[in-house]
Amino acid sequence: MIASLMFPALFSFAQKTNSKESRKIEKRQKYAAMAKQEEEGVLSYSRQNTFGIQLRTNGYGLFYEHGRMKTPRITNMYMVELTEIKHQKESRTQKQEGAFGGSYVYGKINNFYQFKLGFGQQYIFGQKGNKNGVAVMGIYQGGLSLGLLRPYYLDVNDNGTKRAVKYESADSLLFLGNEIYGSSGFSKGWNELKIRPGAFVKAALRFDFNKYNEKVQAVQIGLSVDAYAQEIPLIVERKPQRFFFQGHLAYIFGGRK
């Protein structure tokens, strides 16, 4: 009776032990294969996490990407990005009015930020070849863009009183007048955010030059297009836009596993 009860338990324990050993062997074999590929200059990983800082032809931005390798050349990528678009006609002015002088952008109506969630793929055109080589990759991404409009405020002289105004019919003469002290600052206007839904697509070339494959260090050049359901007013006497085309240059860093 006791033997009949113990036998299944021992058999189950042996199966679990064999299963654990098999997984350990598979893991060692996988790591050995990855190490061999690294020696040959082949990017080999299961996951990668990267951060990027980008300068755009109409602004700047930050992004984070999580990648999962699908094939030896293709990686699926999930990304989140925060950017700001500035109108090409923006020009910062320095106005000195006693102790209260400051800089501002004349005629600017809104600050325009974009919060983006997207999906894409990375395709490896050329491997590093050796540890001192450069891997060349193509990137394409697309997804949703949540546009955020924040009113731009100026401190002005209103009959001897300093007050903050934005561009609206009641204060348009003061906003565009000659007695401007300067910008009201970054803290103004956040309680008046307006949401503008949209979408984006991006294409880029990435050049990974880090010596070690488990680290990412790269530069990226590319183009992107943002489209919004409503027109976005950015500056006085300039037509509001729904479509924004821009180029970018980015520095990217992170790691692989």
pTM: 0.79
142 Rama sector, left if φ>0, alpha if ψ -120 to 50, beta otherwise? beta
pLDDT value of residue 109 = 94
For 204, phi then psi, to 5°, come to -155, 160
pLDDT value of residue 89 = 87
15-to-4, 8, 9 alpha-carbon distances in Å: 17, 10, 10
pLDDT value of residue 211 = 81
Q: Show the tokens assigned to 111.
A: 């600050």
26-to-2, 17, 21, 40, 90 alpha-carbon distances in Å: 36, 14, 9, 21, 59
| Residue whose C-alpha is closest to residue 82's, from 57, 126, 52, 42 | 52
> What string of pLDDT tens digits covers the 257 residues of the chain?
555 555 565 556 556 666 777 777 776 665 555 555 555 556 778 899 999 999 999 999 999 999 999 998 999 999 999 999 999 988 888 765 554 557 899 999 999 999 999 999 999 998 876 666 889 999 999 999 999 999 999 999 998 899 999 998 788 888 898 888 889 999 999 999 999 999 999 999 999 998 878 889 999 999 999 999 999 999 998 899 999 999 999 999 999 98
Cα–Cα distance between 100 and 254 in angstroms, integer?
Answer: 44
**Residues sharing a CB contact under 8 Å with residue 226, sequence separation 6 or more, in sequence order:** 85, 114, 145, 147, 198, 199, 200, 243, 244, 246
pLDDT value of residue 177 = 87
**Residues sharing a CB contact under 8 Å with residue 170, sequence separation 6 or more, in sequence order:** none
